[in-house]
A and B are shown apart, each in its own frame.
Chain A
Amino acid sequence: MITASLTLLEQHFNYLRKNLIQSDGIERAAYVLCGEVHIESEPWDGQPHRKLISHEVLSVPEKDIVSNSSTHVTWTTDSFVKALKLAQTKKLTVAIFHSHPEGMADFSAQDDTNEPELLELAQNRNGSNTQLLSVILTPDGGIVGRLWISQQIYIPLRMIRIIGSSIDLHYPERGRGVPAQAFHRQALAFGEALNQDLSMLRVGVVGCGGTGSAIAMLLPKLGFRNIALFDKDTVEETNLNRLHGACHKDIGHPKVEVVARSLTELGLGVKVKTYLTWIVEAECRDALKSCDVIFGCTDDHMGRLLLNRFAYYYATPVFDMGLAIEVSQAEPPEIKALDGRVTVLAPAAKHTCLLCRGVINPIMARDEALKRNNPSEYERRKLEAYVLGEENPSPSVALFTTSVAIMAIEELVHRLQGFRGDAGAVAQRVRKFHLMTDRRPGANPNPNCPVCGTHEYWGRGDVVPFLNLVE
């Protein structure tokens, strides 16, 4: 049975709320063109899933409104046909948003009659596979939706995410779940709703090294249940100083399996899915697209490049981490820099991407790709000095890989729960462990940056090729 969900960019949600819910208490409507995400098999329930993402909001022109009151709005279908035309050219799905000013957080009998007719119009114009999303906003902040796939069948949205500097989740029975005893003390700090949110979220951990394993080990303790681990590497002896959950006997075994075993052994009801693959490979794409949030714990430039685009195309927050330890040649070495970094990537104001922040080096990404795709040519170019060789292994200490992981999880919990207050979200934080200070380097997007500078692809979802990027 296919399931469906919706992601709304915070800027779209705020605009819709402001325009559809006004002090006069009159019902209003707007269209949203949505990017489509097709998932053949969602990792945790095995079912096909359709995710829609708000890409562009279109107003219903005032002149098209035939009549409206506190309980109805009627408008001509001219603007709907225009929206359908745009959606067809750009391969998007049309959503109709309307308000219920009197607060009914469900579809009315009128909606049940009108929507199949609109779907019929949509399918006659754009083809029989055309779907139609319908969403209701209520003055108390409520939002519910359903996806029409035929005139007889609709799929209720199992979750609506609002993504920006915070992450707000809307799903049936939110805050009314059965409290879990294991997480009672956390509820005393943050409330039951957070525990329920965490139990619903699908979270991906990309890279299961020092930082990724630290993230993964904490997730079940916070109440996350649906976890996907991505890493192609096996445990080496030199990892044991920082790889949480790994013992000496695990050397040679895949990191994802070693970490997954430790998570499962906690007995907290987690469902761990493992992907023994590089994140760039197509075989883990359904899993990646199924995640609601992602922790980026990879240290390669190419993996970061992919996640960097992914966050904006799929409106899926990525918490990217890095640790840089620079030392002198002396013995014992003198610490020159000991920096832990957490950057949040999301289609939202002030969330500048990793390319514009200079975190990713595109040339190194290219060299990594060449080494993987054509090792002999890579070796040849190394001799010719056309590519940079690998550096010596960089210093790494469990204290700091773990600390950076905690910084990232705190950032996520704040964005869900708000414990730091209204201005608490930090798009990039650099902790200078040796100086005992935190910095928040700002960075402006390059205005032409196709990832964060223009909004052309925010919420665009599936495109060919994936992310408009050569694999």
Chain B
Amino acid sequence: MNFLPSNDRKYLENRGLRFSEVEDGKQKGIILREFRLPSGRYDVQKADILILLPSGYPDVPPDMFYLLPWAKLLEGTKYPKAANQAFSFKSQKWQRWSRHNSQWRPGVDGIWTMLKRIENALEVAA
């Protein structure tokens, strides 16, 4: 599998992140392996993060992201807001984080933008 645009691949490799390109039927995405979550906030320290790359990416923006295992906030032992729905991918039930941002600048934004958004979402989740 080799569907990741070259600039995204370069970025992930340069950052030294472990990732794999995955497909389920016609849906494509990348999984960031054992991504470290903000410390002291979740009941898991690391999780795989799935980012679906829609057809037409990077001209069209990605939307939402998914965690496995599911992460609960330590405070109140509950799922963060809008992160309690399951999404099925490769016969696994992922925790869907419904985070939306349709702002997307062609030629400027890429997987690095999505990563920032994810890091931010994990940081501010309540």
Contacts and interface: CB of A to CB of B under 8 A. Distances in A.
Interface of A: 280, 302, 305-306, 308-309, 355, 360, 362-363, 365-366, 369-370, 372-374, 377, 384, 386, 446, 448-451, 453-454, 463-465, 468-471
Contacts of B53: 470
Contacts of B36: none
Interface residues of B, number: 29
Contacts of B28: 470-471
Contact of A305 (B27, B60, B105): B60
Given A305-B59, A468-B5, A363 B102 contact: yes
B3 interface: yes
B21 to A, nearest CB: 10
B14 interface: no
Interface in B10-32: 25-28
B102 A446 contact: no
B26 A372 contact: yes
Contacts of B43: none
Contacts, number: 96
Contacts of B108: 448
Interface in B23-82: 25-28, 53-61, 63
Contacts of B102: 363
Given A365-B55, A377-B87, A470-B3, 8 more contacts: A308-B59, A369-B54, A369-B55, A370-B54, A384-B98, A446-B106, A471-B3, A471-B28
Contacts of A306: 56
Contacts of B61: 362-363, 366
B55 A471 contact: yes
Interface SS, B side: loop
A267 to B, nearest CB: 40
A365 B108 CA distance: 19
Given A366-B60, A386-B98, A470-B56, A374 B106 contact: no
Contacts of A463: 6
Nearest to B55: A369
Contacts of A363: 60-61, 102
Contacts of A386: 63, 98, 100
